[in-house]
Structure 1
Amino acid sequence: MARIKPQTLLQQSKKKKGPARTSVLTIALYSFIVIVIGFFLFATYRHWSQRSRFQAGNDISVSEGENAFVDSKKSDLPGYAVINTSKGPITTELYKESSPEVVDEFIDLCQKGHFKGMLFHRVIKHYVIQAGDNQGSGATEDWTLRGKHYNQLHTSLKHEAFMLGTSKGKHDKKGFELFITTAPIPDLNEKLIVFGRVIKGEDVVQEIEEVDTDEHYQPKISIGIIDVTLRQSV
């Protein structure tokens, strides 16, 4: 058997000690790749987190802007109407919160001059005075109207004397009538929508109430509305 030289054994033992050393260049390359990946992940996270905060802030600002617009629009609506009649002025407060649609329609008609020259064509003592189209609602005793255009406002305020209302029927250009109660009427919810109340000029309402009428409750002398003035405050 041939003998192995000591020098050869020494070289073989060096080869079995473990894996070869990794070069400095390889370590630097791997370190660079790890740094690049880490930087990319950090940049991505920062971008999306900033974008989310921006969108949330933008949504809040838009929402606040819309609310501000609605509140501003609501506050800009006139809160009072002065009905100037041939007997004197009647100042009314409008219920913008409880009857917004009716108040909007009333304000629009006032601005168009709808009520100028309108007569109080029906006066019932201790009940109501009515101005509008005297051909519109039929007999005074029959207030059962088939139309329910404002059915969502069916539950209106408790009715007392000097309340301002209109019929629940579907309105056309000439069909918006004004009713002012002259006494508490418990069942008026079934007949009218209350959208305001008299706060000044009750004596004028009572003076109109006391005029002489015929058998159809129509005044024997003409009593009308000169115009309606809208106001923010009184």
Structure 2
Amino acid sequence: MKNLTLLVAMFLTTVVATAQVAIIQDKDGYTNVREKPNGQSQVIHKLYSNEVFWYEYEEGQDTNEWIPVFIPMNAFSFSSTQPDYIEGFIHKSRLQPLDKLQPYQGTEFKFEYLLEPFKLNNRIVEKHEGKWVKTIAGRPVWGTDGNFPKTQVKGVNVIVEGKKVEINKPLYSDIYECTNTFKVYKNGDSYIMYQWNSDGAGAYQIVWIFTKEGLKQRLVGSMI
């Protein structure tokens, strides 16, 4: 296995073995994130409705009342390498796994990547040990395991309740090997698009969250 893949795998193993994506369910509209797994621990953050994050939980852990969560440092997963996050705990009664939501089957939300073959176009490439692609133009290369990508995104078309949403280039310049196969959920006024992308080895998750007001969050990573 390539050295870069090994490094990434080691990094992810220290973070979480089986991270999944969730939102919260709380009538107050937010949930406290605590430093340690108990209700008396310091509150280090608040998670709000329809804000996605990673969590670690396995079936059979029902005796554990507190769930480890991994929260991105910014709303759009802008990072130079791997995703930055903070780690804390929420009570399991406040957890709403994304895949437990009812899939959206309506027509008020449309999402489409415009795809093209990869073109370097004089962008600066950073390589690990001079071999494996680490960053392109200072951004992560999501979707490969150290090779140059095969496909890239040249634009994103999004329509929410009849209104076109503009997606600026920095929001799609680090994601590669995308497809237009994904799942869509609706929770309240939010439309949540979720998918896995990869070239066969460099798998990563991406979640886009929209309301009719525009893009609210983009979560990108390979927390598996």
- Greater share of strand residues, 1 or 2? 2
In which range does the TM-score fall when normalised by the shorter chain?
under 0.3
Higher relative contact order (CA 8 A, sep 6+): 1
User: What TM-score does the superposition give when structure 1 sets the normalisation length?
Assistant: 0.21
